[in-house]
Amino acid sequence: MDKNALFNQFVTFTAAVHQVTSDLTQNINTDAITPVQYKILEYLKVSQPVTITEISECHHMSLPNTSRELKKLQEKNLIEKISDIADRRKFFVRLSADGEQMMHEAFARIEERFQQLIQHVPEEDLEEIKHALDILQQKVFKQP
């Protein structure tokens, strides 16, 4: 196996993933939030509860900038901060009921676009795609 060729294929793949993600989420952001705030809410939807540091690291933002964006989202009642029972100095962030509703609506629109994207893909190919995604998550992205 040529690992250099595999790496180049992986780079091309990740670039394509970013492009498809951009296409699927284009114009999904509501007028009430910025694209950065949307990305934070999207991350929370699939990973909550998380710490402020985890959000900061995931989005390559400084802690002060992350805290500022979280404060704005909290003022819009889209997120909640909850104290860690074991360490009161530590906070976790999760979506509020309003945030959950906003992301549910956003994901529904994204899913519609995704369904259109795969509507003509044969069932056998869809099974192969699912299997490939499972392997990528387990072996490359290290998610169960």
pLDDT by residue (tens digit) across 106-124?
999 999 999 999 999 999 9
Does residue 8 form part of some domain?
Answer: no
Q: Is 60 helix (H, G, I), strand (E, B) or coil?
A: coil
Does residue 22 form part of some domain?
Answer: no
Does residue 49 form part of some domain?
Answer: yes
Residue 83 contacts by C-beta under 8 Å, 6 or more apart in sequence? 90, 91, 92
CATH number at residue 74: 1.10.10.10
Position 85 confidence tier, pLDDT thresholds 50, 70, 90: confident
Write down the pLDDT at residue 29.
67
Write down the pLDDT at residue 39.
92
Q: Are 44 and 54 in contact (CB under 8 A)?
A: no
Write down the pLDDT at residue 144.
58
Is it the case that residue 128 has pLDDT exceeding 90?
yes
Does residue 2 form part of some domain?
Answer: no
The rounded distance, in Å, linking the Cα atoms of 113 and 95 is 24
Does residue 60 form part of some domain?
Answer: yes
Q: How many structural domains compose the chain? A: 1
Helix (H) or strand (E) holding 82: strand 79-83
Position 37 confidence tier, pLDDT thresholds 50, 70, 90: very high
State the residue range of the domain holding 69: 28-140
